[in-house]
A and B are shown apart, each in its own frame.
Chain A
Amino acid sequence: MFDKSPSLPAHEHLNQLDATNSSSPGLVISESLTESSSNPPNDDVNQSGRAANQLLHRTTRKVAIISLILCAFATALMIVVGIIHNDDFVQLYMLMGIVPLWALSKLVIALNRQLHQAQYIWKEIKSRKTKKTSTQPLLPAPGTSDESTPAIMSGSSVLDVPPRLPSLDISDDQRDHAHTTATETSPIFGRPRRQDTEASLGLTAMFNRQGGSS
């Protein structure tokens, strides 16, 4: 009746996430998990949603049937244990057997969940770190005097970096701020944002003034 191994390969899981997930109603799901299921056309969504609902109902019904049987059996056993006379060590031995089993079963379930969750989190953190390190070489090191940064991967959020300012003596704070605004101008999410140019910021005039003074 049961399969001991988890049933779905890892890459298919994210496609199964839908609004009918009743087992975890309080979760705040990040965009990375919901993104993949947000695009299909309406008919497909309705059909797949209905099919998923039916499957969920059937599974829950199956769980309910087995739960009822298990509960009836466990209740009967516990009633027998409760009725047996206190002086009889049978009750004691049964309790000594049942209570650790009961606690252990809960612990094992929680530990198994934590193990899988830890694997997922570990992979997620690792992938984030690799992403971070792969994008870092694209950002020029402070102090380099290149005239412009070549665009390697078009469409990436990090690549829309405005041309670096030549020989401008800016502070570290300003540089950090410039980096932040550059990475935040992502073309994927949200409305197209205003692209600041040197002219619109009034920096051209400043450069001219600096060039004239020096």
Chain B
Amino acid sequence: MLIHNQILISFFFSALAVFVVVILGYLTATLPSGLLQPTDQHALLLLKTPFTRKRSHHRAEVVVSTQTPKQRSHSQVLVRFLKMLSDQQLITGLSILIAALSSRCVIRRYEWHIVTSLAYFSATTHTLSLDVLRDHLAQHAWIRYCRVLFTLIFVILFSFVYVVDHVKMSEPEPGFGLRIMQCEFLEWKSHYHDGLTGRDYGTAEIGSTVEIAVTVVPVLTILWAKHVSALTRVIAPEATHYRHVTTTLMNRVSTHFWSWTNSLSTSESTKLVADAHLYYDTKIRPFSKRTKMSIWYFLEQYHESYLSEMPVWAFQLVFGTANAIRAVRDRNVDLLNGSSTLGFGQVVAIGLLVLPLLALVEIISGKSYLPCQHESTDQIKSKPCSISLLLYQPTNI
């Protein structure tokens, strides 16, 4: 049995932890500072307004563009914790896909479906963490390249597994879930061969191909779009300031275009595009209280904000959870049959999934008990220094 219930649950909670941590980070404004745009800052103030009765109007006029020392400290903890979860999701996701592909002669159709559901979770949560880890990855070039490479391999593998999983899902035959995957592969291979040689490739097959495309394309489009945009933000230096990746890419293309058509130097062309960018920003911004807000201005601001990501994340979380639950519930064979005892491999897997929690406790306790420079040894012994003092120390030096 490839998937064990305990592993499934711990895997699910590990993925869920990423979502919870990121949402908590957003609500407490402890995500890395570059992620939160002015719209996010104001939205957070508005969300907090019902809980802070006094001076609500006054507070809403103040844009909190910089994080407090406490928030910065929390942000560091959050980034380190998410880094561990993210690594874990990427490696676990890749491992589970490789395991499924290599043991295709043994595993059954429903197990393949469970694997796909879990891998979908991995892919989603890993994308979510990529944005948060952008600053960290920007500082470490080799880690960045490795992560980009592994992510691409993972997404390509997942796309293949997902497509395979959705073949003939709409009209399952009796005993469909119990079929060995290798038999399925061989069957499709013969079908494909017949199709190439012009034999027995009727409208039913064409219809099923279209059906697969229709079933698979929307979900894979979202997944690929999120991955491509997250990876672009990690790779492209100018994307540090703009979340809207399409604009970033188009600006880059237009820089080369103007440079090529008007024989301008690249720096001159870049400057010209930057001027044009700023010109458009100013043009669409309302210039007095009486002027109505341009719809383009609103759309630009909305898409720049981290808030605009929430609906897609919500969909991916719900879709992944619903799929995983359904995959386990609809299985034809009870997973617990013959698997009431945990094997060595399963215990190790669960242990690895619990590891980030231990790491989190270690990070927090490590941060709290670092000695302050200006305090005497006795004071250090008596009380741990505050995190804010620790953070201010480099600037004082």
Contact A3 B39 (CB under 8 A): no
Q: Which of A44-98 contact B (CB under 8 A)?
A: 54-68, 70-71, 74-75, 77-79, 81-83, 85-87, 92, 95-96, 98
Tell me the complex Cα distance, A66–B308, Å.
11
Provide the bound-state CA to CA distance between A70 and B307, in Å. 10
Q: Evaluate whether A121 and B276 lie within 8 angstroms (CB atoms) in the complex, with A6-B284, A83-B322, A110-B244 already known.
A: yes
Q: Is A112 interfacial (CB-CB < 8 Å)?
A: yes
> In the bound complex, how far is the Cα of B194 from the Cα of A142, in angstroms?
77
C-beta contact mask, A100-128 vs B, less than 8 Å → 1, else 0?
00110111011111101110110011000
Interface status of A2 (Cβ within 8 A of chain B): yes
**Least CB distance, B215 to chain A, in whole angstroms:** 6
Contact A16 B287 (CB under 8 A): yes
CB <8 Å contact, B283 and A2: no
Contact of B301 among A7, A30, A60, A99 (CB under 8 A): A60
Per the bound structure, the CA–CA distance linking A8 and B292 in Å amounts to 11
- From A61, A102, A117, contact of B254 by CB (8 A): A117
Smallest Cβ distance from B60 to chain A, in angstroms? Answer: 6
A13 contacts across to B, CB distance below 8 A: 279, 282-283
Task: Name the distance in Å between B56's Cβ and chain A's nearest Cβ.
Answer: 12
Residues 305-337 of B at the A interface (beta carbon under 8 Å): 305, 307-308, 310-312, 314-319, 322-323, 326
User: At the interface, yes or no: A21 with Cβ under 8 Å from chain B?
Assistant: yes
* C-alpha gap A79/B316 in the complex (Å): 9
Contact of B42 among A63, A74, A114, A117 (CB under 8 A): A63
A29 to B60, CA, bound (A): 30
Binary contact readout B245-287 vs A (1 if CB under 8 angstroms, 0 otherwise)? 0110011001000100010000000011111111111111111
Closest-CB distance, B352 to chain A (whole angstroms): 28
Give the Cβ gap from A11 to chain B, nearest Cβ, in Å. Answer: 11
Whole-angstrom distance between the Cβ of B123 and the nearest chain A Cβ: 15
Q: Is A165 an interface residue, CB under 8 A from the partner? A: no
Let me know if A55 and B276 touch, CB within 8 A: no
Tell me which of B38, B279, B289, B316 contacts A120 (CB under 8 A): B279
Q: How far apart are the CA atoms of A70 and B254 in the complex, in Å?
A: 31
Q: How far is the CA of A56 from the CA of B281 in the complex (A)?
A: 12
**In the complex, how many angstroms separate the beta carbon of A63 from the nearest chain B beta carbon?**
5
B300 interface hit (Cβ, 8 Å)? yes
CA distance A124 to B279 in the complex (A): 12
**Docked complex Cα distance between A65 and B302 (Å):** 11
- Among listed B84-92, B134-142, B195-203, B216-224, interface-contacting one: B216-224
Bound-state CA distance A103–B221 (Å) is: 9
Would you call B63 an interface residue if the criterion is a C-beta within 8 Å of the partner chain's C-beta atoms? yes
Give A70's nearest chain B residue, CB to CB. B302
Taking the closest CB of chain B, its distance from the CB of A47, in whole angstroms, is 15
The answer, yes or no, to whether A154 is at the interface (CB within 8 Å) is no
A79 and B276 contact, CB distance less than 8 A: no
- On chain B, the residues within 8 Å of A60 by CB distance are 38-39, 41-42, 63, 301
Q: Which of A1, A17, A26, A77 contacts B241 (CB 8 A)?
A: A26
Least CB distance, A18 to chain B, in whole angstroms: 9
What is the distance, in angstroms, from A86's C-beta to the closest C-beta of chain B? Answer: 7
Task: Identify the closest chain A residue to B315 (Cβ).
Answer: A78
Expressed in whole angstroms, the Cα–Cα distance for A105 and B311 within the complex equals: 15
A22: min CB distance to chain B, Å: 5
Whether B277 pairs with A27 at a CB distance below 8 angstroms is yes
The answer to whether B294 touches A121, judged by C-beta atoms less than 8 angstroms apart, is no
Query: Measured between alpha carbons, how far is A29 from B298 in the docked complex, in Å?
Result: 23
Q: How far is the CA of A13 from the CA of B215 in the complex (A)?
A: 48
Q: Are A30's CB and B275's CB within 8 A?
A: yes
Kindly list chain A residues whose C-beta atoms are within 8 Å of the C-beta of B287: 7-8, 12, 16, 55
* B295 contacts chain A at the CB level, 8 A cutoff: yes
- Residue numbers in A under 8 Å from B43 (CB-CB): 64, 67-68
* Chain A: minimal CB distance from B79 (Å): 21
* A74-B311 contact, Cβ under 8 Å, with A2-B294, A55-B289, A64-B43: yes
Chain A residues near B278 (CB, 8 Å)?
17, 21, 24, 27, 29, 33
Residues of chain A within 8 A of B39, CB atoms compared = 60, 63-64, 67
Q: A8-B283, A12-B287, A107-B246 are in contact. Are A30 and B271 (CB under 8 A)?
A: yes
**Extra contacts besides A7-B294, A121-B254 (7): CB < 8 Å:** A2-B292, A54-B61, A78-B314, A103-B221, A111-B250, A117-B279, A121-B273
Task: Across the A-B interface, give the 9 residue pairs with the lowest CB-CB distance, nearest first.
Answer: A82-B318, A64-B42, A26-B241, A3-B292, A78-B315, A74-B311, A95-B218, A117-B276, A82-B319
- Please give the residue numbers on chain A whose beta carbons come within 8 Å of chain B beta carbons, in ascending order: 1-8, 10, 12-14, 16-17, 21-30, 32-33, 54-68, 70-71, 74-75, 77-79, 81-83, 85-87, 92, 95-96, 98-99, 102-103, 105-107, 109-114, 116-118, 120-121, 124-125
Q: List 25 A-B contacts (CB under 8 A).
A: A3-B292, A6-B283, A6-B296, A7-B283, A7-B285, A12-B287, A14-B279, A22-B63, A24-B242, A26-B238, A29-B274, A30-B274, A33-B279, A59-B297, A60-B301, A63-B39, A63-B293, A64-B46, A68-B46, A79-B318, A96-B218, A103-B221, A116-B280, A124-B275, A125-B272
